[in-house]
Structure 1
Amino acid sequence: MHTLKKLAGAAALMLGAAGLAAPAAAAYPEHPINLIVSYGPGGGTDLVARMMAPFLQKYLGSDSRIVVLNRPGAGGAIGFGELARAQPDGYTIGFINTPNLLTIPIERKTAFTWKSYDLLGNLIDDPGAFAVLDSSPVKNLKELSEYAKANPSKVTVGTTGNGSDDHLAMLRFARTAGVELTHVPYKGAGEVRGAVSSGEIMIGAINVGEVLQYQKGGTPIRFLGQMANTRSPILPDQPTFKEQGYDFELASLRGLAAPKGLPEDIRKKLVSAVKQTVDDPEFQAKARELFAPLRYLPPDAYAQELAQGEAQFRKLWDEAPWLDK
């Protein structure tokens, strides 16, 4: 009987303990979230990241705070690698940019591919462009071709690195026109803009939205052409490369991702916050002010786009590797 009483007492204690309220799990996010930008300050990705941070904070709630971290270098590989290596806990997210995200693992061994991430959604689709100082004697692509033929290797073109849309555009133009151009890589579009402005280089291979931002900010540069299939809605008066006899198009997708392996509840919350941000009329208005061409893709559609792009760039690499000689 004494033993039975002991067992009954122990059971009662266990039941009492079970009835106590368990500590509530901390609501995500409970501390700041780092947002990695793989390019320098002042470029299109950096400007969009800083503009959108308050909207992500709003839709994530819990007094969240987004801290933008610039990790430029190696055409984006430094930042992409840091993002892929981070803990998949929702406290590190980042922008991933094509084609660099796709081309870098093709041209050299890396610790990441686009499959290294949980995709949160694409936001931007910005066509490439060539831009020069207003004072440049070159007014269009025909004149650029003529100038380059008369001055072999003297036309310097600034890009955001090997395998970027800017670099591939330069190579495609050079092959199509039959000219020699000199590649000058930088850590971001902001540095390319500065190099064009100072006369350090002749051509800036910069995306349409970025050139428009710099023009608005007072930089005296103008377009030679845009690389969209049809004229971008934000640049309706500027002819495409195709219209000028150079039948190719290149653009940069810019979307958000996190390290692979996010807890499902956190992944869903981040995906929802990205979608709510893109749908927010105030965010859309600010994107227009930055000349950032929005193109939202949910994770599944984003993955399909990246897979197709990877296949195209592998084919291009097999035909004509794009690394500088």
Structure 2
Amino acid sequence: MPLSPVPRHSALPAAVPEGWTRGARLAQAATKYGPGGDHAVTSRRDRRRPRLARGGPRPVHWPLARPIEVFVPFPAGGGVDTMVRGIVASVAPRLPGSRFVVTNRPGAGGQLGFEANFNAAPDGYTLGAATNTAMNAISIERAPRYRPAEFTWIANVVDDPAGFWVHPDSPWKNLADLAAAAKQQPEAFGVGTAGVGSDDHILQIAFENATGTRLIHIPYNGTGPTLRDLLGGRLPIGSFNMGEGIGLLREGRIRCLGQAGPQRWSEMPDVPTFREQGLDILGGSARGSPARPASRPRSATRCGRPSARRSPTRPSLPNPPG
């Protein structure tokens, strides 16, 4: 006996192969017209249900999907690392639901950290820290896997003058003493810096050119290792920034021969500038936060820049020099 046609508004097909049982016909309709089928039919009431009630995933927008990783291109304990951790602590409460992870990626004068930031996925979940001098000097000397002009810049946080530092037991009391000793013994005294092309390194070169002397450049992976050897008496001279040495200076564990800012920093009024000591030298580090190039979500920049501007100066830290 032939099957009767399917009613007009039924979800079942109008015809099935001859010999099929009613159960087979229902199974075929469930596969084709049921949830997930090619011709799925839903009721008006079902369409009004929230997406979550129908089993679909709720979209998670930036910055809630996962932690935001911030690359620091130098070891822990230096000026860049201190800046990043202070800013993250201030910015996080202004981005509700956000989580931050600070990753130190030192090496090659900061190049490894710059490259990790530049080549990360452009999804807004990777930020970084940078010093303008090192980032640009490296790209002039060699061909790194990043292009400074293509970063998306969020904020310039601090301008920190450079300086020459010595152990308290050092016989040198000022830059003139150091220059006289270096002229008597060329290439006899080492200067520790945060790496080739850093502002610390450039300050050493400027001092040599201004005084007609030659020192030995000793590049470290950052200021932290430089401080370690300076405190241990294994390094005659440390070249690093005012903000990186002020704590140890106040404790009497290191001395500063001169600061390379245009005027004396108010937090270190007893330390003369290079210019005051007869050397027309200015130098320092501008530190800030770049992000992956512009294909990243715009919401990250829109939220990150105002948050960085509103980040307060922590009362436990001295006001930055710049």
How would you bin the TM-score normalised by the shorter chain?
A: 0.7 to 0.9
Aligned length: 283
1:93 pairs with 2:123: no
Aligned partner (choices 166, 182, 188) of residue 132 of structure 1:
166
8 Å CA contact retained: 2:249, 2:256: no
Looking at structure 2, the residues matched to 3 and 117 of structure 1 have their Cα atoms a distance apart, in angstroms, of: 64
The residue aligned with 1:57 is 92
The amino acid that maps onto 2:166 is V
Looking at structure 1, the residues matched to 226 and 119 of structure 2 have their Cα atoms a distance apart, in angstroms, of: 29
Shift of 1:179: 0.6
Shift of 1:15: 6.7
The residue aligned with 1:172 is 206
The residue aligned with 1:214 is 248
For residue 152 of structure 1, give the secondary structure of its aligned residue in structure 2.
coil
The amino acid that maps onto 2:232 is S
Structure 2 CA distance for partners of 1:20 and 1:117, relative to 1, 3 Å: farther
Structure 2 CA distance for partners of 1:165 and 1:19, relative to 1, 3 Å: same
- Pairing 1:201-240 to 2, within 5 Å after superposition: 201-216=235-250, 218=251, 220-240=253-273
8 Å CA contact retained: 1:39, 1:76: yes
8 Å CA contact retained: 1:196, 1:204: yes
8 Å CA contact retained: 2:69, 2:126: yes
Instruction: Report which of the two has the higher share of helix.
Output: 1
Shift of 1:14: 8.4
TM-score w.r.t. length of structure 1:
0.80
1:41 pairs with 2:66: no
Ranges of 4+ aligned residues in structure 1 off by more than 6 Å:
2-6, 14-17
8 Å CA contact retained: 1:35, 1:93: yes
The residue aligned with 1:148 is 182
The residue aligned with 1:32 is 67
TM-score w.r.t. length of structure 2:
0.81
The residue aligned with 1:266 is 300
Aligned partner (choices 282, 297, 308) of residue 249 of structure 1:
282
Looking at structure 1, the residues matched to 102 and 309 of structure 2 have their Cα atoms a distance apart, in angstroms, of: 19
84-93 or 24-33, which moves further after superposition? 24-33
Q: Deviations over 1:39-90 (max 9, x none)?
A: 011111112222332222111111x221111101100000000000111212
For residue 128 of structure 1, give the secondary structure of its aligned residue in structure 2.
strand
8 Å CA contact retained: 1:43, 1:190: yes
The residue aligned with 1:303 is none
For residue 155 of structure 2, give the secondary structure of its aligned residue in structure 1.
strand
- What are the ranges of 5 or more consecutive residues in structure 2 without an aligned counterpart? 1-5, 11-38, 52-56
- What are the ranges of 5 or more consecutive residues in structure 1 without an aligned counterpart? 296-325
Looking at structure 2, the residues matched to 72 and 204 of structure 1 have their Cα atoms a distance apart, in angstroms, of: 19
Looking at structure 2, the residues matched to 68 and 247 of structure 1 have their Cα atoms a distance apart, in angstroms, of: 38
Shift of 1:3: 11
The amino acid that maps onto 2:174 is N
Looking at structure 2, the residues matched to 249 and 45 of structure 1 have their Cα atoms a distance apart, in angstroms, of: 20
Looking at structure 2, the residues matched to 3 and 113 of structure 1 have their Cα atoms a distance apart, in angstroms, of: 67
Q: Deviations over 1:93-145 (max 9, x none)?
A: 11111200111001111111222321111111100000001111101111111
Structure 2 CA distance for partners of 1:236 and 1:17, relative to 1, 3 Å: farther
8 Å CA contact retained: 2:62, 2:299: no
Shift of 1:91: 1.4
Aligned Cα root-mean-square deviation (Å): 2.3
Q: Deviations over 1:23-50 (max 9, x none)?
A: 6531422221111110011111112222
The amino acid that maps onto 1:114 is P
The amino acid that maps onto 2:163 is A
| Relative contact order, higher structure (CA 8 A, sep 6+) | 1
8 Å CA contact retained: 2:71, 2:105: yes
Q: Deviations over 1:231-263 (max 9, x none)?
A: 223222211101111102111011112101221
Shift of 1:5: 6.5
Looking at structure 2, the residues matched to 105 and 16 of structure 1 have their Cα atoms a distance apart, in angstroms, of: 61
For residue 245 of structure 2, give the secondary structure of its aligned residue in structure 1.
helix
Percent identity at matched positions?
33
46-55 or 12-21, which moves further after superposition? 12-21
8 Å CA contact retained: 1:131, 1:203: yes
Looking at structure 2, the residues matched to 14 and 116 of structure 1 have their Cα atoms a distance apart, in angstroms, of: 51
